[in-house]
Amino acid sequence: MHPIRLISFGYLHLPAGPDGSPAPPAADRIEEVRDRLPDPAAARDILDLDGLNLRVQGVVLNAPGARELLVNLADYADLPDGPRRIAIGCAGGRHRAPGLTELLARELRARSRQVDVEHLHVHLPRVLKAAATSTGARA
């Protein structure tokens, strides 16, 4: 079987595409987890950690639906003429996407697959969406 490349990224760090929306990395499958998995950064004890940390990966894995998603992605990657690239994106690319990407890489390696991993935004600071005030200014 051919090697597979896994890419984690944050939608809020992507440049806009031709239609003005973020343009995710090229991949055979793009898995958006912003609405599927809760943001583990809400847990204050892991706020300053990233998805490369085992504690963050544990929080991601224990989120409702995460184990099923992980199995689905691993089974998809194992199809006979399966993908060469899978990209997983969350809001900022620091917690959910890299955590799930590392978990998927571990699962695929356990299935004797050759896996390359690239984290596009895990090293960047957390993205905090500023809320608009009543005057329309950013907080």
| Least trusted range by pLDDT, from 31-35, 41-45, 95-99, 105-109 | 41-45
Decide if 63 contacts 38 (C-beta within 8 A).
yes
The more confident residue out of 6 and 44 is 6
Give a yes or no: residue 138 inside a domain. Answer: no
Asked if the model's pLDDT at residue 129 lies above 70, the reply is no
Give a yes or no: residue 109 inside a domain. Answer: yes
Helix (H, G, I), strand (E, B) or coil at 90: strand
Give a yes or no: residue 16 inside a domain. Answer: yes
Give a yes or no: residue 137 inside a domain. Answer: no
Q: Which residues of 99-133 are buried (b: 16+ CB within 10 A; e: fewer)?
A: bbbbbbbebbeeeebebebebbbbeeebbeeeeee
pTM for the model = 0.88
Average pLDDT in the chain: 88
Asked if the model's pLDDT at residue 32 lies above 50, the reply is yes
Give a yes or no: residue 126 inside a domain. Answer: no
Residue 128 confidence (pLDDT): 67
Structural domains counted in the chain = 1
The more confident residue out of 41 and 106 is 106
Give a yes or no: residue 49 inside a domain. Answer: yes
Range of the domain at 88: 4-119
**Cα–Cα dist 98/55, whole Å:** 12
**Cα–Cα dist 17/79, whole Å:** 30
Give a yes or no: residue 79 inside a domain. Answer: yes
Give a yes or no: residue 95 inside a domain. Answer: yes
Q: What is the pLDDT of residues 46-55, one digit of tens each?
A: 888 999 999 9
Asked if the model's pLDDT at residue 21 lies above 60, the reply is yes
Asked if the model's pLDDT at residue 41 lies above 60, the reply is yes
